[in-house]
Amino acid sequence: MNDQDPHLSGVLRSWQHEVPDTPRFNAEVWTRIEAARESPQTVTAFFGQRLGIPARYFRWALPLTVSLTLAIAAAAGARVGALQTSHFLNDRMAAAYVRTIDPLQMAANHQP
């Protein structure tokens, strides 16, 4: 600590923080703990509160939404893979065709 200001040092040494007395603090903490135990915060309750849907109506929607999202992602991935394969095969067929009709490439393929 920097002791260059004796007045500040004296004020800091004499300072004390008074904590206000809360007589029911422990009881209130245990009340909140028990309330949390009775109604645990689940994912469905969390999203249900955010969307304004009661959790009992929302419980079936979350697994359904996740399942549909995964199915759509898998289908999209399969489609992208098929398109990539198609483009690759088209490029190979085009290159093979060009080799059959281009005299320069035919000569290049027959050289030892």
pTM, to two decimals: 0.42
Q: What are phi and psi of 69, to 5 degrees?
A: -65, -45
For 51-100, write each residue's pLDDT tens digit.
Answer: 777 767 766 777 888 899 999 999 999 999 999 999 999 989 988 888 88
Place of tokens 């490029």: 91
Tokens representing 102 are: 């281009």
- What residue segments make up the domains of the chain, in order of their start? 23-56, 60-112
The CA R_g of the chain, rounded to the nearest whole Å, is 36
Report d(CA 72, CA 36) in Å as an integer: 36
Per-residue pLDDT at 69:
96
**In a 3-state reduction of DSSP, which class is residue 99?**
helix
Max Cα–Cα distance, the chain, nearest Å: 99
